[in-house]
Amino acid sequence: MTHPHTHAATGREVALVTGSTSGIGAAIAHRLADEGYFVILHSRGSTEDGAALAEKLGHAAYLQADLSCEADRLRLIADALALTGRLDVLVNNAGISGLIPHGDLAAASPEIWRSLYEVNVIAPFQLVGLAEEALRASAGRGGRACVINISSHAGVRPKGGSIPYAATKAALNHVTRLLARTLGPEIRVNAVAPGLVDTPLTADWTEAQALWQTQSPMRRGARPEDIAQAVMALLASDYITGEVLLSDGGLNLT
Ligand code: NAD
């Protein structure tokens, strides 16, 4: 956290990006900062990376919270609002996956189901609820008032790292539509559903990389910046809500 007393005075719109010290979340944070947002970075554990990135982005701060824990979710939104006094954009990017062969039903234990559901579905839903009042206030002063959920193509098509993972992302897509219907017209809620994205998480997914390079119309996996660009496009709209934007380089067409 850096100089909280200076933040409220900036007059910038404020965006909170969960899981933003690496991968897709960090790329989204960079784009938002470039566009002039004050960015609240967040992660579960990488506090040093978070502080360093906040320093680099300039108008940014870092908050730690374990989103599998309800008390931490409450603290995250409370701390964010205490820091900046406003919230205009919430990007629910933090998520967990894990590889389990779909045919190995026993390996997808109830414990794994619960932990994935807690972080990938319940946490984003609860963060929206906790941020609702601030997002409505954003709408009231002509701010963006947007939620973007980062789901996955695995939540749209029957594939992905594991059946529980794919099911949580399908649930997040449906939560996106339900919340869009419930929170409009003040708050827009959309999702970006990436296919393969080159992040540390997928560095050794050689099979998926070969698939994207040979089969997808775009002939490559996404860079984190491609996903950030899709997020910015949804933010820029004044009208699109309840949409799940598949960002898979067209692999779904093959
Ligand atoms: P990543 O591992 O680099 O980032 C995940 C982030 O989530 C990290 O910052 C981590 O701190 C945070 N996180 C995980 N569990 C948490 C918890 N309990 N509490 C707080 N934070 C927690 O991975 P990434 O590839 O950048 O993934 C970002 C999002 O994109 C995820 O929701 C993921 O499911 C989704 N996604 C990724 C890909 C891909 O190919 N990389 C594809 C489709 C969707």
pLDDT digits (tens, 9 = 90+) for 12-48: 999 999 999 999 999 999 999 999 999 999 999 999 9
Is the beta carbon of 94 within 6 A of some atom in ligand 1?
A: yes
Per the domain annotation, does 219 fall within a domain?
yes
User: How close are the terminal C-alpha atoms of the chain, in Å?
Assistant: 46
Per the domain annotation, does 60 fall within a domain?
yes
Per the domain annotation, does 252 fall within a domain?
no
For 239, counting Cβ atoms within 10 Å of its Cβ (0-12 exposed, 13-18 middle, 19+ buried), the class is: exposed
Q: Cα(252) to centroid of ligand 1, in Å?
A: 22
Per the domain annotation, does 150 fall within a domain?
yes
Distance of CA 244 to the CA centre of its chain: 13
Per the domain annotation, does 216 fall within a domain?
yes
Task: Give the number of domains in the chain.
Answer: 1
The stretches of 142-204 forming alpha helices (DSSP H) are 163-183
Q: Cα(152) to centroid of ligand 1, in Å?
A: 11
Is the beta carbon of 28 within 6 A of some atom in ligand 1?
A: no
Per the domain annotation, does 113 fall within a domain?
yes
Per the domain annotation, does 251 fall within a domain?
no
In ligand 1, the atom with minimum distance to the C-alpha of 224 is: 26
Is the beta carbon of 33 within 6 A of some atom in ligand 1?
A: no
What's the domain range around 74?
4-246
Which amino acid, residue 246?
L
pLDDT digits (tens, 9 = 90+) for 147-193: 999 999 999 999 999 999 999 999 999 999 999 999 999 999 999 99
Per the domain annotation, does 253 fall within a domain?
no
pLDDT digits (tens, 9 = 90+) for 207-252: 999 999 999 999 999 999 999 999 999 999 999 999 999 999 999 9
pLDDT digits (tens, 9 = 90+) for 42-51: 999 999 999 9
Is the beta carbon of 152 within 6 A of some atom in ligand 1?
A: yes
Q: Cα(186) to centroid of ligand 1, in Å?
A: 28
> The domain spanning residue 76 has which CATH number?
3.40.50.720
Q: Cα(25) to centroid of ligand 1, in Å?
A: 8
Is the beta carbon of 40 within 6 A of some atom in ligand 1?
A: no
pTM above 0.85, yes or no: yes
